[in-house]
Chain A
């Protein structure tokens, strides 16, 4: 069994990101602290965070709102399930639940508006019943039952969606079945000759890596959400991992997929690295976002665990120079396993997360570094930006590689963890601060212009919408490719004095997306479309393109059993 038993909500926050015990709080002294034991920062006091929040976002400890500690079950819409279906379900011996908590927990992902609803209201529509299939055959049975009783199935893996993909369509009149894949989490076999593993799709990223690691292997797929997201979810959204430069994105990793659809099971007849048999059917499945069926089993490439890992960082005088350096690294095709460039605002946020220093010596070292960067190198602390690097492989090659990269750029150690933004943004919610991230991919020559314009657009939109404090609007380049890069934007603002912050937030996010598109960026690099970005699909893939996808849906699922209404 995986780390998450039947009821993962016991250890996960019900209304925020991540584990119950890992969160930012302000202690009695008014200093920020990160609780729990799970992260590098856990248990540490972060003395500068408070000042940063006050200075950058105008947050104040006096202005605090408290969300409900517990779910009020009387608000939850009733579960409407026909007795005939329940009888069939019981007969199939598949476990299920109609409890309010179970249903609410699976009614949402992690979009801001969803978290807001959890904190302050209730969803209009949630699943009527949750089922936990234990294997591929269970899924086949459930889909058959759904067809028989005309039900709507919404599959859920880790529940980390940030595209409103898990939201139940409010006007769905049929019974909604939430199909939770979390119990299908076994590694079925490992093939060391071909370096592949056959795995059930419900397995969570960190469990997968830990279990493979026991036999000396890894997949190397590390999306930021890997602590919580599932293999099936990666396939369904076309996920991308931090270390894709070595291991590839999900489409490069997958060798074989098995999916249950209302039409039957779809899979290829062999496990081969490549085949020329018309358009690759995997590409109908990857990115289908639960509209066609449930991915049950996946054969994925595995690699021996690298013997050596090394972190590093490089400081640049400004963002433009940083992007130029990344572009050069991509051009020479010597990008390390991961390379991420954060802009100045985010660099300063990183500083705000700096823990209290342990000794006078480290404090002295810090001062020395700061002196070296700003005085000796002449970098402007309000301009400079940082690239963080991760090298992997055998020791000798890593060192060689590292030298090659450092020959391209100057050298300075720094390190920063991205996932903390999500947890931090939960703290922000308590202090009238809301924030979220979104991503895009963009050709190299437009990276600088796109970053500048989108950030500027956010600032301008905030002003127009009456946001009183300048927003925190920042970006980072998180992936490099031959022909372009993946860019992440983080954006947070103080919503004191605004009556409908979620609406304002959504308007600003929409404006930012318009800006991205106008600047030649894509609708999404890896978050997917869900329902949040559907409105731009036609523009993104053309009328005919959309028609192609629709006709596939029409054939595979004519009665719209998989009725989450994502994508199309």
Chain B
């Protein structure tokens, strides 16, 4: 959390490899069209030849040059016998007065629960059944083959860590499937323990290379030691690529989640300790035209608990097999050398003075470095996320509720397409179709969310009437949140110019300085909602201004920022994109000042804000359905804590929160400016 402090304290050395140079963006447009050509639809071949033969094909992946082949059982042994694990076992035995044998037994159990068990039979079974399933679910699975080639090269040179984005359970199945298809080593995957509940599938997953980690094991030192050593042993031996999700869990909102650092620091450690020469980090972007779990996510966000993963649940999901989920794009990014990233930053690491097997707290330097790498990798993931036409349509639609004329929708979508491309968005637009057809086919793919009624495109169940019943509010919220998850995909590309636009509206000023300080406020508030590289607030601001200038929306002079006449409508649109967040945060701050009691827990907060918002929506005093999203609520709470508006305290049973009224009023005032503008415009 150190990195999230005041944005002024963060000036980095100029010209470092960390800077997201404005120049890079000006080149992106050409890159985008180049990138698109690289994609290859792997399902095409699957539709033409035998799946069985494919599953039984000769599979001999290239391996790491320094690999000493060994069986999973040998790996488990070496983990158990490692100095690291033995050290912790002895420590625990001393502290708890238990014999080391008992603790050793415990360690073995953990290993068994966790350990993967790669089995070619299971892989072939998966290859066969996934072929069948994927062909039914998806129209196309597009992969950039150049990225595959680079990965193949990387695997032979140094240990590799695969870092895919996480939007769906399909992610890791798909990734293993692709690597099998391209004859690459299957990764071992750090997957959530939830899967263990799925008996048959769990075992199959394990046999196809997944290993499991408990979601939370903060206090359990033995678990941590065994787990960390297991991952590092895999990595050091170059036994197989390690795969895990930086975001930690599937993003329910399709926005990239702020990264988790635990696993990343584990896989970086062998390099810090120079047990390996280098490690490659490979960002992978998996974009779905339609997310399998879309409605499930919306329910979850609204507080209807998610069904526990179970095999029978998966079988019930069979009905989705008859549905169409469009295309998937998997983009394998350029492997990033950890050594290159670390150059000049952590050369002087503290590991030189302490035996390397002793558990050590990460130094501040290294922590900061791990944080930076995590954000950098997520930004690289985001850069190569493919945006479908539907993402544009959803964004337009949400600004034109409850309905919009079809022709107008097409027109606005096309306009947004141009803007998105100018901002460097990686858009997959079907050039062979007319705009009308492209929009129509997108609408058809998402007919569970939108319908075309009498030439009007409407969001299902959404009427935007006052005095709705609770059930109707819920239904409307469901549709809007589902739709919002697609709009959110656009926000990654738009967040910097949009926040400049919002700042312009909030300040109603031309003065650059004033606009910038408002931008910093917005960036601070939304730090958990969107991915900003730690520190460089000024860079973000400049990038936003650059993109707006390039699209002729604003003119920047040394002291002033002026909206051009043509640019006004763009600025309004850009700001409106983020209105749900601004309004949502405002409602939450209103709730806090009115309703919040002395001290509350997160659970109480979420229940409270939900009731509060439901009332507002039922009476029609707000149309901001997205405030019902628990994701937004949690992010807002975190933001208020970060800004000292809310104080977080640890108690015996978790955390409690109290409100700092004075600070809250100030923040609410800032929001007020923004909202009042929207009401008057």
Contact = CB atoms under 8 A, between A and B. Distances in A.
In this complex, the interface size class of chain A, counting residues with CB under 8 Å from chain B, is 10 to 19
7 contacts: A446-B356, A450-B274, A453-B277, A456-B277, A517-B347, A517-B352, A518-B352
A457 B356 CA distance: 21
Interface in A7-56: none
Contacts of A519: 274
Q: Is the interface of B mostly helix, strand, loop or mixed?
A: loop
Contact of B275 (A449, A514, A518): A449
A520 B277 contact: no
A520 B274 contact: yes
Given A452-B277, A519-B274, A520-B274, A514 B347 contact: yes
B83 to A, nearest CB: 9
A453 B273 CA distance: 11
B654 interface: no
A457 B277 CA distance: 8
B594 interface: no
Interface in B520-549: none
Interface string B349-380: 10110011000000000000000000000000
B348 interface: yes
Nearest to B346: A518
B274 A446 contact: yes
Nearest to B278: A456
A518 B277 contact: no
A445 interface: yes
Contacts of B352: 517-518, 520
B424 to A, nearest CB: 30
Interface string A511-542: 00010011110000000000000000001000
A456 B356 CA distance: 21
Nearest to B352: A520
Given A514-B347, A518-B347, A539-B348, A445 B277 contact: no
Given A449-B275, A518-B347, A519-B274, 4 more contacts: A456-B277, A514-B347, A518-B274, A518-B348
A514 B352 CA distance: 13
Contacts of A514: 347
Return the 6 tightest CB-CB contacts between A and B, nearest first.
Answer: A520-B352, A519-B274, A456-B277, A453-B277, A449-B274, A518-B347
A514 B339 CA distance: 13
Contact-size category for B? 10 to 19
Contacts of B274: 446, 449-450, 453, 518-520
B277 to A, nearest CB: 5
Contact of A445 (B347, B348, B355): B355
Interface string B272-295: 011101000000000000000000
Contacts of B349: 518
Nearest to B355: A445
Nearest to B274: A519
A251 to B, nearest CB: 23
Interface in A168-182: none
Interface string B319-363: 000000000000000000000000000011101100110000000
Contacts of A446: 274, 356
Interface string B639-652: 00000000000000
A227 to B, nearest CB: 36
Interface string A448-468: 011011001100000000000
Contacts of A456: 277
A520 B347 contact: no
Contacts of B277: 452-453, 456-457
Name the residue among A452, A514, A518, A519 with the largest chain B CB count within 10 angstroms. Answer: A518
Q: Which of A450, A456, A457, A514 has the most CB of B within 10 A?
A: A456
B360 to A, nearest CB: 14
Interface in A472-527: 514, 517-520
Nearest to A539: B348
B271 to A, nearest CB: 10
A518 B274 CA distance: 8
A275 to B, nearest CB: 31
Contacts of A457: 277
Contacts of A520: 274, 351-352
Name the residue in B274, B351, B356 with the highest tally of chain A Cβ atoms < 10 Å from its Cβ: B274
Contacts of B347: 514, 517-518
B545 to A, nearest CB: 37
Interface in B244-279: 273-275, 277
A455 to B, nearest CB: 9
A445 B83 CA distance: 11
A378 to B, nearest CB: 16
Contacts of A450: 274
Contacts of B351: 520
Contacts of A452: 277
Interface in B134-168: none
A465 B275 CA distance: 25
B397 to A, nearest CB: 52
Interface string B20-54: 00000000000000000000000000000000000
A216 B576 CA distance: 97
A276 to B, nearest CB: 28
A445 B355 CA distance: 8
B71 to A, nearest CB: 20
Contact of B356 (A445, A453, A518): A445
Nearest to B347: A518
A62 B349 CA distance: 48
A322 to B, nearest CB: 16
A444 to B, nearest CB: 11
B442 to A, nearest CB: 48
Contacts of A518: 274, 347-349, 352
Nearest to A518: B347
Contacts of A517: 347, 352
A520 B275 CA distance: 11
Contacts of B356: 445-446
Nearest to A515: B274
Interface in A274-332: none
